[in-house]
Amino acid sequence: MSDNFIFDKEVSILIAGEAGQGIESITNIISKVFKENGFNVFYTLEYMSRIKGGCNSSSIRISNSKVSAYKEKADFIFALSKDAINHLKKRIFKDSIPENAFIFYEYNNEPLLDNFVNKIKIDFSVIAKELGGSIYANSIISGIIMGILNINLELLQKNLKQIFSDKPEDVIEKDLAASSEGYEKGKSLALGKNISVNLKNEINEDEIRQSEILINGNDAIALGCIAGGVDFISSYPMSPSTGILTFLAKHSDEFKILVEQAEDEIAAINMGLGAWYAGARAMTSTSGGGFALMTEAVSLSGMTETPMVIFLGQRPGPATGLPTRTEQGDLNLALYSGHGDFARIILTPGTLEDGFYLAQNAFNLADRFQVPVFILSDQYFADSCYNVKPFDLEKIEVTEYVQKTSKDYKRYAFSGNGTSSRGIPGYGEGLVVIDSDEHDEEGHITESHDMRMKMVNKRMAKLTSIKYESLPPELFGDIEAENLIIGWGSTCEIIKEALKEINNPNIAFLYFKQIYPLNKSVLEYFKNAKKIICIENNYTGQFANLLKLELDINVDERILKYNGLPFSVEELVLKINELTKGVIL
């Protein structure tokens, strides 16, 4: 082993400690500083369902080149609590941790740590108390990290002032002093251990990167909703969807959005339907257990042909399950929710850019086809953050389909494509009648068997129109490749980086950002594949099953994970290599 430790392309930082120790604050601070230094940044959070205690962690990647996926690799590990080492042991004692990795710890109650070569004990809490209290520990640790990595102290302190601007002046001064103390400690550690961090941009894109935005999945989707013209959201808070509600609430005055924290999920979605009926563009945000209460209202949307946008943030179930972890287990829930037959659309963003643009278009789709539109996401996507170019507002269009009514207006008039003209009360001379019972063209209750058949056929005709315009999947690689990887939603960037590392031209990746309905043109992507592998964060392979049901596509292999954690790049490299070694050029 060399006595010099050089990091020149990428640095990975893993921070673990109790809830309440400021793990997220440290992550936000150092990520912002590195981004402003012109580097690419990615981080994701892993946390328990508690306000204090337990053990949470954040994984941060700082790189010369684009990074947007989770890796297990860690160069610098900060264990801030007594349980941190035990919590991380399955990860930090795997091959993904290089031999020149450093671990900084305060409490050594884990025998495995004795075998860790580069271990450094730092009394974070003692230093913090000397400076005024444990609340300054996050500033100390941020300073240590910046000192080790040789990043400008002034830039760190500028960001600290911004982040803590709502605190009293004396508290801010102590935070700055704490960061200086940590910074000097980090510099001395780097010098004493011969740690050299020489990250440099391979391409001079400093100005471009500094103009980029550092944003997480939930915020990207919430911005997309604003761009889509949302003016009403009614929700009951539920992790991991709460970030959508709080983001829109924070900016409600600026964008004239009416925000209602409903008494429960049933009220939330029904308020949204009422808002659409009155002419608003409405949405609700929830997770699996909360959405289970909404399913009757989803049918109400289907029967009354009232648009609705539903953000469904997935987490492991059933019941409360793992409320702060990740899973792709609610595809079937969204697909089959509600009783009876009616059309719907399910969008599944896998990149921050898609999170924005799909959310924006969800409102156009709901308005145009008068159906419920799902934005299906998950905890990993919600809490993953990286820098992207500002979203292009010229690429978006808010298209409204409400029409002024005439005296002889019929809300459910038959049409060739199943979609009737949608009027709203008070806009025109017509009477806008809707009913949850089966109804005739005017909206009046009927028990006519013939009318029932006609109305069902009318509503289901929308599905043909939607299929015709469904978003196609995005292919990465050669359409002639014999190995075809299938993924949807948040697995996208992880699969892309894994395949980049594998570097096998005979493996292609097909990323689905809309998983229902599927157009038959999708079959073209499969005609040359000799082996189809579907990657999903659930137990049964719900999307693989849907491909078989809808398009008679047989998936040969399934890579499934359902322990509450996302896939890592490293594990997908191993699993994909294992499954494709028999099919080569």
Per-residue pLDDT reduced to its tens digit, 331-362 = 999 999 999 999 999 999 999 999 999 999 99
* Angle, CA 342 vertex, CA 338 and CA 346 arms, to 5°: 75
The reported pLDDT for the residue numbered 150 is 84
Distances (CA, A) of 27 to 3, 32, 44, 145, 189: 29, 8, 9, 11, 21
The reported pLDDT for the residue numbered 585 is 40
As a whole number, mean pLDDT of residues 280-287 equals 98
Taking only the tens place, the pLDDT of each residue in 504-560 is 999 999 999 999 999 989 999 999 999 999 999 999 999 999 999 999 999 999 999
Look at residue 301 and tell me whether its pLDDT is greater than 50: yes
The reported pLDDT for the residue numbered 584 is 44
As a whole number, mean pLDDT of residues 311-332 equals 97
Taking only the tens place, the pLDDT of each residue in 402-414 is 999 999 999 999 9
Q: How confident is the model at residue 208 (pLDDT cuts 50, 70, 90)?
A: low
Token representation of residue 438:
């089966």
The reported pLDDT for the residue numbered 7 is 77
Distances (CA, A) of 106 to 135, 150, 184: 16, 22, 18
Q: Could you tell me whether strands 10-19 and 474-476 are parallel, antiparallel, or unpaired per DSSP bridges?
A: unpaired
Q: Which of 40-44, 54-58, 247-251 has the lowest mean pLDDT?
A: 54-58
The domains located in the chain, with CATH, are: 5-211 (3.40.920.10), 214-395 (3.40.50.970), 402-469 (no CATH), 474-580 (3.40.50.920)
The reported pLDDT for the residue numbered 197 is 77
Whole-number percent of the chain with pLDDT over 70: 94
Taking only the tens place, the pLDDT of each residue in 425-449 is 999 999 999 999 999 999 999 999 9
DSSP state of 428: B
Q: Which of 91-95, 174-178, 454-458 has the lowest mean pLDDT?
A: 91-95
As a whole number, mean pLDDT of residues 254-282 equals 98
The reported pLDDT for the residue numbered 95 is 60
The reported pLDDT for the residue numbered 8 is 76
The reported pLDDT for the residue numbered 4 is 73
Q: What is the spatial order of strands in the sheet that 232-235 belongs to?
A: 258-261, 232-235, 282-287, 308-314, 372-378, 345-347, 514-516
Side-chain half-sphere exposure of 366, counting CA atoms within 13 A: 35
Look at residue 488 and tell me whether its pLDDT is greater than 80: yes
DSSP state of 429: S
Ramachandran quadrant class, 561 (left: phi over 0; alpha: psi -120 to 50; beta: rest): beta
Look at residue 374 and tell me whether its pLDDT is greater than 50: yes
As a whole number, mean pLDDT of residues 278-284 equals 98
Average pLDDT, rounded, for the chain: 92
Q: Which of 83-97, 215-229, 238-252 has the lowest mean pLDDT?
A: 83-97
Q: Do 343 and 279 touch, CB atoms closer than 8 A?
A: no
Look at residue 135 and tell me whether its pLDDT is greater than 90: no
Taking only the tens place, the pLDDT of each residue in 209-239 is 568 999 999 999 999 999 999 999 999 999 9
